[in-house]
């Protein structure tokens, strides 16, 4: 990994200090209020009383927090709401496509068909004419999120300072939530719209092909990465001998995408469904582990203690097996696949930073990849052991 300061880690890994959008929030507020007028029953007289962006975790879809009031026939109704917006194409989006309707439907079905806690969803608007981009609206949920800024394992977060028993409760409760998600009945029928849209003779082959197409999108305009190309070839050369049955995969199953009860250390809302797909359970299990390991690698490079006893692969796999009866296999391969996808995200967020003039284009494109050194060790077979 290239040498970093703590400030670099905070601004580059999660992008909290980096620009994400060129959207005018004043214009969005006016157009969103006009949309509510058209969407709610006549005479509702909706009014948006506040609207703001958020520096919350994540670097892909835009998230806006807003408060709205309207007349629901029984009196004035007040709601605390969240709008998820597809990013503008001029703002260097992370993914080549954003299907907000699929995200909305996934959250809605998960809420109806499982005990996985998700925010209540209210409306989905596919027409970009309304506010300039497709979006959906959901209710706001109260809870605590392990921060990306500074990363929660750096030593100054509610999770870092929690008692070891509470840290373990959060870990186990998260794995249990993933197990409940994976237990949704008839997933390939219910979530057929999430099947990977790529060639391949198995769901995993198709999912990796999607990642390859995503890389080709990220590599445009001079951002090709020899490291990612080597890693994609490595995945193909070391393909798992067995593939678990396809189920609903959350896709972005890291604790930074979960809101937790402040006292119980249990999930109250599972967020960020834009990577949801159909595939083996190991996709989510390995992503959960690597979503922590990437912060641990950064902490180690800064000579910080981190949280090395948290979300260890063997502990996570054991808990998952106890919940489901299925022992996850080939987690080092799936963990490497997770690292490859993180590398593609870093290519895109690096390109965005270059686009907005926040950083200079490096001579070596691979220097944009903040998990470069760990990924190279994975390809050499010296990381997961």
Active site residues: 252
Axis-axis angle for helices 282-301, 372-380 (nearest 10): 120
Q: Residue holding tokens 């080092």?
A: 332
Beta strands in 74-118 (DSSP E): 76-85
Q: Is 198 exposed, middle or buried (0-12, 13-18, 19+ CB in 10 A)?
A: middle
Q: Per DSSP, what are the bridge partners of residue 79?
A: 68
CA distance 215 to 224: 8
What percent of the chain is helix, strand and coil (3-state, nearest 5)?
45, 15, 40
CA distance 84 to 104: 9
| 189-338-376 Cα angle (round to 5) | 155
Which tokens is 102 given?
């699929």
Which tokens is 64 given?
């806006």
């Amino acid at each position: 990994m290239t040498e970093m300061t703590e400030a670099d880690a905070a601004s580059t890994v999660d992008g909290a200090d980096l620009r994400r959008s060129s959207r005018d929030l004043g214009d969005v507020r006016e157009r969103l209020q006009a949309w509510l007028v058209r969407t709610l029953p006549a005479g509702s007289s909706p009014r948006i009383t506040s609207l703001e962006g958020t520096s919350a975790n994540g670097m892909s879809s835009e998230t806006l927090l807003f408060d709205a009031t309207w007349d629901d026939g029984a009196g004035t109704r007040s709601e605390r709401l969240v709008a998820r917006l597809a990013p503008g194409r001029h703002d260097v989006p992370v993914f080549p496509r954003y299907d907000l309707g699929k995200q909305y439907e996934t959250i809605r079905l998960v809420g109806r068909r499982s005990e996985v806690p998700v925010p209540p969803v209210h409306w989905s608007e596919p027409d970009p004419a309304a506010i300039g981009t497709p979006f959906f609206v959901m209710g706001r949920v109260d809870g605590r999120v392990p921060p990306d800024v500074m990363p929660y394992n750096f030593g100054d977060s509610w999770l870092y300072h929690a008692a070891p028993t509470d840290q373990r409760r959060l870990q186990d409760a998260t794995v249990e939530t993933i197990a409940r998600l994976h237990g949704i009945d008839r997933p390939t029928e219910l979530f057929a719209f999430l099947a990977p849209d790529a060639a391949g003779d198995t769901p995993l082959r198709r999912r990796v092909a999607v990642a390859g197409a995503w890389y080709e999108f990220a590599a445009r305009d001079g951002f090709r990465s020899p490291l990612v190309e080597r890693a994609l070839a490595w995945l193909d050369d070391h393909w798992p001998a067995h593939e678990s049955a396809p189920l609903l995969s959350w896709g972005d199953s890291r604790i930074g995408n979960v809101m937790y009860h402040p006292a119980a250390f249990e999930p109250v809302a599972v967020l960020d469904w834009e990577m949801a797909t159909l595939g083996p359970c190991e996709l989510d299990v390995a992503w959960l582990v690597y979503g922590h390991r990437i912060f641990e690698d950064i902490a180690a490079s800064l000579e910080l203690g981190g949280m090395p006893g948290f979300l260890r692969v063997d502990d996570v796999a054991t808990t998952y097996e106890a919940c489901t009866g299925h022992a996850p296999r080939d987690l080092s391969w799936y963990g490497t696949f997770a690292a490859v996808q993180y590398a593609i995200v870093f290519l895109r967020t690096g390109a965005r930073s270059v686009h907005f003039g926040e950083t200079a284009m490096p001579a070596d494109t691979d220097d944009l990849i903040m998990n470069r050194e760990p990924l190279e060790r994975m390809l050499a077979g010296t990381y997961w052991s």
